[in-house]
Amino acid sequence: MNRMKLSNIQWQWIRYTIGFGMINTVLLLLLLWIVEGRYILEVVLQNVLGIPLLLVLMFIIMLLGTMLGFMAGKRMKRRLDELEEASMAYERGKFSYRVPDLGTDEIGVVGKRLNNMSSRVEEQIASMQRLSAEKAEWNETLKQAAVTAERQRLARELHDAVSQQLFAISMMTSAVQKTIKQQPQKAARQMAMIEEMAGIAQSEMRALLLHLRPAHLEGKGLKEGVEDLLQELEQKHDLLIKWSVEPLPQMAKGIEDHLFRIIQEAISNVLRHAKAKSLQLNLAVVQNQIRMKIQDDGIGFSSGQDKHSSYGLRTMYERVNEIGGVLDIFSLPQKGTQIDVKVPLVQIKEEGNT
């Protein structure tokens, strides 16, 4: 019997009841011995069917203690299992789960408080999603400000990434021209480096061009917009893309825009950094949650790296948090990367309704 099973609450109750019964029996015998003296000692030492009476009493106490402890512990464990199941559901972002009525004692009170907490969390998520939908209706001034900020960001990335790569290619080309006749082997290595830098610059440009697509779905639904995006990428990039986008319920425009931009950002990271040959995207609704998985077979990264340090990953975390979702990233060196997004679907009450 392993240590975990011995620490199970049912076994704890069994040990407690047996111990309590033993202590009561010893105290009772001690009291009788004090009152009756030698006579009680002779009775205890007598045999019943060849077995000492003391052993018979101990066996009966252990049997009753085991039965009572098992029944009481089983009921207690069943109620605690309900609380554990609720906590696991909340950890997975399933805040619609409700704890059944567990009585009026402390465990029942904890269950009711968990239900109250999950209701408040659902209300907060609905409020966050409502605010996200309202933010999608920015006025023209705010839109222009956002466009300007995005242009500035793209300009910085263009300068920091592509421009530096092109400058390095230019410098390396000049060096090749000087060494190609006298040192052909060195020139060949330099040409290989030029080819590699050109490939990196091309990947950076492709990723930046992806960001130049409209930030919103332009009247399309999320399913249609995602499929159009992936079909276009499949035609323009040397990347095997597989996808499964199931029919989606109607959602607030702000939520659809956030999910679309998260997909864009994830694909941009694949094009720029992953060196992947294939990409797979799954988008569906499971158990009242929008679930999205984006997986590539690229170079990945180690678990020791800060997942929030990349601008693209940080942006995805912010977008998912803004609509009350959960984002998980799994990656290993040379094993690719998987991005999981879960966003709860909640009913947003219209203003003015009770």
Q: Which residues of 177-206 are buried (b: 16+ CB within 10 A; e: fewer)?
A: eeeeeeeeeebeebeeebeebeebbebbbb
Q: Are residues 122 and 143 in the same domain?
A: no
Q: Are residues 208 and 228 in the same domain?
A: no
Domain boundary among 215, 243, 270: 215
Q: Are residues 148 and 230 in the same domain?
A: no
Q: Are residues 158 and 81 in the same domain?
A: no
Q: Are residues 36 and 162 in the same domain?
A: no
**How many other CB atoms sit within 10 Å of the CB of residue 337?**
24
Q: Are residues 280 and 182 in the same domain?
A: no
Q: Are residues 238 and 312 in the same domain?
A: yes
Which residue's structure tokens are 């030492």?
45
Q: Are residues 145 and 29 in the same domain?
A: no
Q: How many domains does the chain have?
A: 3
Q: Are residues 258 and 335 in the same domain?
A: yes
Contacts 24+ apart (CB under 8 A), 28-32: none
Phi, psi (deg, nearest 5) at residue 124: -65, -40
210: Cα separation from own chain's centroid: 27
The residue segments making up the domain with residue 93 are 3-130
Phi, psi (deg, nearest 5) at residue 273: -120, -30
Tell me what pLDDT residue 320 has.
92
Domain boundary among 182, 215, 248: 215
Beta bridge partners of 232: none
Q: Are residues 168 and 274 in the same domain?
A: no
Phi, psi (deg, nearest 5) at residue 238: -80, 70
Q: Do 333 and 300 contact (CB within 8 A), yes or no?
A: yes
DSSP state of 305: S
Q: Do 25 and 40 contact (CB within 8 A), yes or no?
A: no
pLDDT tens sequence for the chain (354 residues): 344 443 465 566 666 676 666 676 666 666 555 555 555 555 555 554 555 655 666 666 666 666 666 666 677 777 778 888 888 887 777 778 888 887 777 778 888 888 888 888 888 888 887 777 766 665 556 666 666 666 666 666 655 666 666 767 777 777 777 777 777 777 777 777 777 767 666 666 666 666 555 545 667 888 998 998 898 888 888 889 999 999 988 888 888 888 998 998 898 888 888 888 999 999 999 988 999 999 999 998 875 555 555 667 888 898 899 898 999 999 988 889 999 999 998 765 444 443
CATH number at 259 reads 3.30.565.10
DSSP-based three-state secondary structure for 294: strand
Q: Are residues 91 and 74 in the same domain?
A: yes
Q: Are residues 77 and 146 in the same domain?
A: no
Domain boundary among 169, 192, 215: 215
The whole-angstrom separation of Cα 299 and Cα 301 is: 7
Q: Do 333 and 301 contact (CB within 8 A), yes or no?
A: yes
Q: Do 200 and 160 contact (CB within 8 A), yes or no?
A: no
